[in-house]
Structure 1
Amino acid sequence: MVTLTIIVTGITSPIIDFLYDPTRPYMINKKRTIQHTVQESELRILACIYDQESVASLFSLLDFANPTSSNPFTVFALYLVELLGRAAPVFIDHAKQNEDYWDTNNEAIHNAIKLYEEARTDCIFMNFFTSITPQRTMYQDICEIALLNKVGFIILPFHKKCIEDGNDFSTAILRPGVQSANANTLSHAPCSVGILACKNAAAWGSLPTRSSNCIRRQFAMLFFGGPDAREALSLADHMVEHPDVSLVVVRFLASEYKGDDESERKLDDGVVTWFWVKNERNDKVVYKEVVVHNGFETVSAVQSLNDSVPIDLWITGRKNGINPTLLEGLSEWTDNPELGLVGDFLVSIDFNTSGSVLVVQQQVLRDQRASPWACY
C-alpha cells in the first residue's frame, strides 16, 4: 500500500500540474487599465499593505492621483500577513466579519484606513481585507481580489523599506518574501500594476492638504514608449490635475527611429498628442523630447533632469514595448528585475535623488502573454 501510494502520487502530481494552471483565471481579455477607464468615472484600485510603513506612502499616492466627486476612487486595501507554521490560511473581509484578526499592526492599519476614509468620504470609498497566507501564495489573493472586484490598478510597495535618517537603499530593511510576491503579481495580474519605492519616507509621507496650496510637488514622467509608458502617462495625467502637483514629461526617442516598432510608435504618438493638447495651456506641465543613441545617453539625460530640479516622484513604465536602443548597455545594472531597467536605475544608490519612484506595468491581456514583444 505504501509503494502504491508513492507510485500514484508520483504519477498524478505532475499530471495535475500540467493540466491545471491556478493562474489561468486571472488572464482575461477585457481591458482593465487606467488608460482605458472612461473619463469622469469610478476608478477601482487595490492597495496592498505589508506593514505600517507602507500605509502613509500608499495614502499619499492615492491623494496625488487626485480622486474627486466626479472621478471617485473605490479602494480595496489588502493587508497581507505571512502565515507561519501549519495553520490554515485565513481571509477576512472586515465589512462582513465581526471577528477580526488581531495584532498590533492590524489594529493600527485598520484605524488609519478608517480615519483616511472619514476624511475623504466625498471622493474615496474604502474596503478593508486581511489575508493571512504563505508568502508563495500571496499573489493569488492579490489577483483574486483584483479579478472579482474589477480593479483597474494595483499598488504594490517595493520590497525595500527606506529608513528615516538616510536615502541609501543599501541600508534599507528588506520585506521578506515581498519581492517574489510582487514579481508573481506582475506576471499574473488581471489589470495594471504599479510598484511604489520610497527613498525618503519622511518627505513623501508628509502630505499637504488641498486647502494649504503652499507645498508644490514636482513630478517627472519618463516616457520610453510602449503600453507601460502609455499607462504611466495616463496616471500622470490624473496627478497633474491635483492643485499642488507640477509635472515634467520627457519623451525619449531613438536617433533616426532606430529599433522602433512602427505600430507601437503610432500608438505612442496618439497618447502623447492627446496629453499635450489637453495640457497645452497648463503652466504646471512641461513637455520635452530627447533624442538618444544608447542607454548611456538616456541615463545622462535623466541625471541632467535630476540635477536641474528636485523631483518628488519619478513615474515610468516598467519595460513592455520599450525600444531596446534606448536602454542599450544598461542590462548589467539590473538588480531588481521587477522594476525594469529604468526603474532599477532610479532606485539605485548610483542615482542621487530623494524622490520616490513609481514603476507602472499596463495589463497584459491573455492573447498577449505568449507574444515575445509583450514579454520583452
Structure 2
Amino acid sequence: MTELDPVLLAERLIDCPSVTPATGAVFDCLAEMLEPLGFAVHRFIAGEPPEGPVENLYALRKGPEGSRHFAFAGHLDVVPPGEGWSSAPFTSERRGELLYGRGAVDMKGSIASMVSAVAQIPAQAGSISFIITGDEEGPARYGTVPLIEHIRAIGEEPDLCLVGEPTSVNRLGDMAKIGRRGSVNIWLTVKGAQGHVAYPHLADNPIPRLIAMLAELDALVLDEGSEWFQPSNLEITDLEVGNPATNVIPAEARARLSIRFNDLHTGQGLVDRVTAIAQRHGGEARAVISGESFVTLPGAFSTLVAQAVEAETGLSPELSTTGGTSDARFLRAVCPVIEFGLCNATMHKKDEAVAMEDLRVLARIYKRIAEAALGG
C-alpha cells in the first residue's frame, strides 16, 4: 500500500486547465495517478461540437472473484474561472492553510482525496472503480450517460457509488446528499403579427398574451414539499422580445422557465402542465428535462457513510436533498448512490479554495467508506 498526500495530488489536477467540456491533460494526470495503483484505465471521447468533444474515464481495479464492487464518481471539468482572481486560477497556490485554484473544491480536490484513499486499500479488499467525466458542469449529455453505457456493456456495475460533490456547508462532514430534485427548462413562445403601433387593429401583439401566461405560471403552487424534499419551485429565468423599434408591434415574444421539482412530480408531467397553460394563451412550449428527482432512502449505505464521517470529524452529517443537480441523477439507475464531499462555500467563485487539512481528512473518510462498503 502507498500513502499519497491528497494535497499534492490536488495541485497536479488543478494545474491542468479543464474548462468544460474537458479533455486531454487533466485525464492524463489522473490516469498517471491510478495506473501505478493497479487500475486498468479506459478513456474515450464522446460527442461533437458544440456540446463536445467530451473525454470520459473509467478505471477499475478488480478484487477477488465474487467480491463487492464500490465506485467513486466525479468530474474533472470546471466552470470558467472568470476575472479578478488573486492568483492564476490554473496554477495551484498555497496561502496559509488554504489551497487555491479552480476546481480545488468542485471537484478536483475530492478526486485527489479518492485517489489517496484507494492507495491505502489492498486490492484483495474488493473491486474499486472510478467513474470520471469531463462534462458535468456543461450539458452533461456526453459524460456520465456514455460512461454508464460502457459499464453495463462490460458487466461491471458497482454495488454502491459515492459521488464526491462538495456537499458540506459550514464544516467538512456536516451534510451528505441522499437525493436531488429533478430539473426541467422550458422555452415559451407566443407568435403574433407585426404591425405599426398606430394601427393596432392591423397587427397582433403577442406580449400581453405572454404576460398573462407568465402571470398564471408564476402563481402556481406546485406542492408544499414531501418527506425528503423541499417544495418544488418554478422560476421565470428569461423574457425576450428583441424589438429594436419604438413604433413596431413585434411578431413574437419569448420567455424561459426553470423548474426544480421533488418526488411528487415527474419532468414530463410538469412539461404537460406548462404546455397546457401555454396553449391556452396561444403559445407554444419546448422543454428539456435534465433529470428526475430521486432519493436513496436512509439505510445501510447512509449509515456507513455517516459512521465514517463521524469517526473522522465528530459530526453526524445531515442527510439532505437540497441544491442543484449532479451526475448522481444518472448513476442512481445503476446502484444506490450518495454524495459527500468538501465545503461548498467557494465553488464556482473566484479564488476558489480548500482547506488542505480537509483534503487529508476527506481522504481518511473516503477510505473508511470504501472499506465498509466492500465489507471490510
Q: TM-score by structure 1 length?
A: 0.26
Structure with the bigger RCO (C-alpha within 8 Å, sep 6+) is 2
| Higher Cα Rg, which structure | 2
Q: TM-score by structure 2 length?
A: 0.26
